[in-house]
Structure 1
Amino acid sequence: MHLGTGILVAGGGLGGVAAALAALRLGENVILTEESPWLGGQLTSQAVPPDENAWIETTGATSSYRRLRQEIRDHYRRFYPLTESARAAAALNPGGGRVSPLCHEPRAALAAIEGLLAPYVSAGRLTVLTGTELREVAADGDRITGVRLASATHGDVHVEASYYLDATELGDLLDLCGVEWVCGAESRDDTGEPHAVPGPPQPLDQQAFTWCFAMDYRHGEDWTVERPKDYDTWRAYTPAFWPGPLLSWTDVRPDTLAPRTHPLLREEESLTGGHAIDRWTYRRIRSTRTFEPAFAAGDVTLVNWPQNDYWLGPLIGVTDAERLHHLEASRQLSLSLLHWMQTEAPRHDGGTGYPELRPRGDLLGSPDELALRPYVRESRRIVGEFTVLETHIGAESRQGAGSELFPDSVGIGCYRIDLHPSTGSGEPRTYVDIACHPFQIPLGALIPVRAANLLPAAKNIATTHVTNGCYRMHPVEWNIGEAAGALAAHCLRTGHSPRAVRGTPALLADFQRLLSTRLGFELSWPERIRTKII
């Protein structure tokens, strides 16, 4: 099958969906591809409730991201039997989780995303190809001329587009088309970042990824999963930088590295009565307090914890066999954590094991206990016209003055510089958790140094290993993708190149005006927030 379009977006995660929506709103036709069965990436197929800034209900995101959040809430109001108080709450939080003011089931986000895209599919302006992988890229000098995709439904699909946006989880299009990219940890000598690695760059030093799963609690029932084949290995594993076995209620605080112990819960009734605390409530995606009593027998929580972070090998820069090994090992770790909780974990009420914990892969669109895809924190990153460094946003580097003001801002974001344990260089290394200021997204970080019609649209912009730790979160990835989609559409309409838009003050001002007035972007933080230390 041969297809032509204005814009091809490879990867249907949050950045890819936002890129497609922006381009469609600006009048372009789009083909959107995704490897998994679900669009939405970390919010759906990876099953991660949103990590967001403290001001997200009023500022700190594009208007379309706020609409996505509202559509998720409205989905619950339309279809779920909510309590009167939950239905009346403007900031409805179906799961009552502590990680965000909006914790919800992945299917609710999927429904919202499909609803946002539906008008354009109906109009024939958007083609969505799920179950579709990149295979080959054709190029002529600095321009991509076409891609070949492998679709589970359509077989070989050849696409020719004017612009190609990479929103894949690992930056696969960057690799296939041969543009300049980096991965892993840069050298402190090269970037000047206080928390970059000493000595030479370490491209295999990549953050842990996590195969998440959901579970509920069925009082008096036994849902113990079969003993995973690698259970003995993970049960005995004690990282050198950990206070004890990985499969334990004790881990470390990311910011101080001090040991901490958080049990699953403290009261039996908290699992059935919606009053859970500690690990159970952190990423809880369904709370019985939200729904009428007859609807839900208990809470559902999402397990994305230090105990199932996988850091024994990277996904980029290794052979296919090594990558597949690490993916399977990550699955085994998560299944082992589940089995350990069901059989050996110390209980809050004495004894060991919670056989009542039921895995809910059915809520995640999965044929087994785990999410459809692993939660990936780190991608290949373009070598861009401008690279965001720790010294631009880190509180220590900025000495409390607030983040760097970028004249080419195309959005804003806010999160701590949060680097999970990583594969290290030979040996895994522990957390790097750094205070920073609310920041802007510079257009220069979205423009490759050489490629003419390729743009990054996810976690693959020109950040460093360090600053990726805060530019990778849900609303920021959405903003990046939306900016990339808008830029591609704007360039098609005006005939200007992305490089010219950034490099010409009048053209840059015109594009920023488009973002803020037509698409509802926020390009700067209020001063009272920009200087906050997060």
Structure 2
Amino acid sequence: MKRSLVSLTLISTFIASFPLIALATPSRTVDQTVECELLVAGGGLAGVATAYEALLAGRTVCLTEITDWVGGQISAQGTSALDERATQRQQLFYSRGYLELRRRIERKYGELDPGDCWVSDSCFLPRDGHVILSEMLRDAARRGRGQFKWFPTTVIKDLQIAQTGGERRIQSAIAIQHQPANGAPPLNTYPLSQTITDAYSYQNSRLFTKNIVRFVPAAKAGNAPNWYVIDATETGELIALADVPYRLGIDPRSYLEPSSSSATNDPYCTQGFTYTFAMEATEQPQRHAEPPFYQQYASYYSYELPRLASFPLVFTYRRIWSPRQGEDMRFGGISFTAPTPGDISMQNWTWGNDYRPGTAADNLVYTRNQLQSTGQLQPGGWLGGLRVETLRKGEEHAKGFFHWLVAGTTDSQLGPGVKEPHPNNRYLAGLDSPMGTAHGLSKYPYMREGRRILGRPTLAYPQGFAISEIDISRRDYSDSYYRLVLSPQSYRSLKAALAGLEAASVIAGTIPPRDVMRRTRSTIYPDAVGIGHYAIDFHPCMLQSPAELPGNIERPGERLGAGQAYPFQIPLRAMIPQQIDNLLVSGKSIAVSHIAAAAYRVHSFEWSAGAAAGTTAAFALERAIAPYQLIARIPFPEPQLEALQRRLAQNGNPTAFPDTSIFNEAWEDWQ
């Protein structure tokens, strides 16, 4: 179906602002040159899954990661509680690597949920997430006879891009690997805000000795593509460095994104980020000195809702270790077991350690204009693309939340008389702590949203492909709100897009929009290479700056799009950026809208997207075909694309949910 001319004009104008980039030259002599068939930037779940599948296919994989742990969400970011939907979990309908991860967690502990948490069927220690995934990668290399080259504490600094044989390709990438300098404290002594600028700088420092690495493709005869670069970073670093078209923040309201909180694009409002931490229940009360910055953030913290206003409930929400079972409890309709001394909880709470900036003065992920103004798009100028001051405040905010949990007596949302102190808990810090850091915070913040590519133009998406709100939401949009905020033409387009086989009649006017029954499924993509299922779950930005401002509120309307989603697919078009022909995107930076991104971000989705990227890259190398060529003729059949989809399915990486075809409209059973 054709997309709105208004929205396409806006997107077209946005694309036109992206010039081709110049080549970069390292400002220091390269210490090491490394050949790869796949260079995977980002060692989170998407990056690990990419490497896992490529290694099983016998490929040489270089994997870089800013921290010293693989696993992202379940390790370095501390959110080691698997977010899963009930039906998918009951059927165990996941990618083979994700199933193996679950099996190894259970084998490690003798059970899948050693934390006895109530938010998930599996809560465990972040350090063990890293250990398990490291073992899986080594085993995949051995089984597939691939070669695994692991580069921890390594960031991509520069890309060399050139026109070759009618294609624009990344020819090489310059990276910086840092290790402690002589006499310096060990890694993970300081939080990210104090080390990130140093980590992206070429020169040695008092903290770090740098190893400059040039990644290049493995030698190969002819002009066939000889390597692929995969951006699996948490914020879309390579797509910013390569300067390909991308979106950031809120999309303009349209029939594709009818629940958007803004009539225009707002690149500064992304979902909140979280520094997680671990705390342990103790027999005796602990002394808790108030942090010097606590009062700056104290007016923000809250249990959020009356049904959640229970310390034992919050503690056990993401409890990651429980050596002995406590007594049964129930609060707010939720059943759980009481905390007992020795229990360890990981905290990730919206009105707690979520930090939610949303203005041009404090946004975390820099826009393209901000990158230009700070010199980060100049050769050698890249410093990670994040606002360091906001990272620092997020760190303070998280530590302040611990103090609120154990000593606070106020609640910003529920008023007086709700919050009581709970001193029988201690903050876990140290290199041997669950987070593996001397400061006790996660090594990297849990990122829910970053830059999101705009895919290549295709027949139905002439200005660039993207997955939108209406492609996955269960909402029927019959509420009068949508008739009021959308123009009559946009409202008719919305209803036509939801009408399925009756779309032509709606467009022709023979069926009034009010009579349209919403199709009971998500959009089905002919180029599907993976799957996911999760609710559209928002952690909205705050309206004013700073985020912790007393009396501050969430951005109005941001939660309007929240709600249940149908099981959805990951189309290959969402992983192929414009302008660069050997770059694939995996994880949170695929081509999704701001609202759709709130569902396309959890553990099993990231793994499925990574499995698709690794399989696609290996397939493209084997067949000497570029991924963009697989989608060039959509919606017409493409034998090579069908062969890729068969390989994914044969390898145990599903591209569609059971019984969810266009002929079966009964998707309501998927919860």
**TM-score category by the smaller chain?**
0.7 to 0.9
Structure 2 unaligned residues grouped into runs of 5+: 1-31, 180-209, 218-226, 327-339, 375-382, 412-416, 457-464, 477-497, 499-517, 546-552
Is the alpha carbon distance of 1:47 and 1:171 closer, same or farther for their aligned partners in structure 2, counting shifts above 3 Å?
same
Q: CA deviation at 1:282?
A: 1.3
Aligned to 1:380: 451
Segments of 5+ residues of structure 1 without an aligned counterpart are 78-85, 87-91, 237-245, 253-258, 266-277
Query: Do 1:62 and 1:522's aligned partners in 2 also have CA atoms closer than 8 Å?
Result: no
Aligned to 2:129: 109
CA offsets 1:42-85 (integer angstroms, 9 cap, x no match):
110111111111132423421111111111111113xxxxxxxx
TM-aligned CA distance change 1:126 to 1:120, over 3 Å: farther
State the distance in 2 between where 1:19 and 1:135 align.
21
What percentage of aligned pairs have identical amino acids?
31
CA deviation after TM superposition for structure 1 residue 444, in Å = 1.1
Say whether the 8 Å CA contact 1:53–1:60 is kept in structure 2: no
Cα distance between partner residues in 1 of 2:134 and 2:211: 23
Q: 1:216 aligns with which of 280, 303, 306?
A: 280
Alignment of 1:104-143 (within 5 A): 104-119=124-139, 125-141=147-163, 142-143=168-169
SS in 2 for 1:140: strand
CA offsets per residue over residues 235-281 of structure 1, 9 Å max, x none? Answer: 13xxxxxxxxx2233x15xxxxxx6542212xxxxxxxxxxxx2122
Structure 2 CA distance, aligned partners of 1:134 and 1:358? 37
Question: Aligned pair 1:393/2:464, yes or no?
Answer: no
Aligned counterpart for 2:54 among listed residues 6, 13, 23: 23
> What is the DSSP-based 3-state SS (H/G/I as helix, E as strand, rest coil) of the residue aligned with 2:607?
helix
Structure having the higher Rg: 2
Report matched runs for 1:66-465 at 5 Å. Answer: 66-77=99-110, 92-119=112-139, 125-141=147-163, 142-153=168-179, 155-161=211-217, 162-189=227-254, 192-224=256-288, 226-236=289-299, 246-249=300-303, 251-252=304-305, 260-265=307-312, 278-289=313-324, 297-306=341-350, 307-312=352-357, 313-317=362-366, 318=370, 323-345=387-409, 352-361=420-429, 362-385=433-456, 386-397=465-476, 398=498, 399=518, 401-423=520-542, 428-429=554-555, 432=559, 433-465=562-594
Distance 1:185 1:353, change over 3 A: same
Shift of 1:423: 4.7
CA distance in structure 1 between the partners assigned to 2:658 and 2:262 by the alignment: 33
Matched residue pairs, number? 486
Question: How far apart, CA to CA, are the structure 2 residues paired with 1:135 and 1:337?
Answer: 34
Once residues 276 and 541 of structure 2 are traced to their aligned partners in structure 1, the CA distance between those partners, rounded to angstroms, is: 17
Assess if the C-alpha contact under 8 Å between 1:61 and 1:522 holds in 2.
Answer: no
1:500 & 1:415 partners in 2: Cα distance? 30
- Give distance in 2, aligned partners of 1:418 and 1:188: 18
Alignment pair present for 1:53 and 2:85: yes
Q: Secondary structure at the match of 2:229?
A: strand
Residue number in structure 1 paired with 2:493: none
Determine the C-alpha separation between the residues in 1 that align with 2:321 and 2:574.
37
Structure 2-normalised TM-score?
0.69
Structure 1 residue matching 2:149: 3-state secondary structure: strand
Deviation at 1:502, TM superposition (A): 2.5
| Cα distance between partner residues in 2 of 1:498 and 1:388 | 18
SS of equivalent to 2:302: coil
The two structures, once aligned, show a CA RMSD in angstroms of 2.5
Partner of 2:11: none
Amino acid at match of 1:104: F
CA distance in 2 between counterparts of 1:428 and 1:132 reads 35
Q: Which residue of 1 aligns with 2:197?
A: none
Counterpart CA distance in 1 for 2:141 and 2:471 is 40
SS of 2:107's partner is helix
The corresponding residue for 1:506 is 639
* Cα deviation digits, residues 20-61 of structure 1 (max 9, x gap): 011111121000000011110011011111111113242342
CA, structure 1 residues 206+350, in 2 after alignment: closer, same or farther (shift >3 Å)? Answer: closer
Cα displacement (A) at 1:115 = 0.8
Cα pair distance change 1:146/1:217, threshold 3 Å = same
Mapped to 1, the partners of 2:418 and 2:619 lie a distance apart of 62
Q: 1: distance between equivalents of 2:349 and 2:101?
A: 26
Distance 1:136 1:172 in 2: 11
TM-score by length of structure 1 reads 0.85
1:485–1:104 CA distance, 2 compared to 1 (3 A): same
Counterpart secondary structure, 1:152: strand
Question: 1:352, CA displacement in angstroms?
Answer: 4.1
Contact map agreement 1:143 1:451 (CA 8 A) in 2: yes
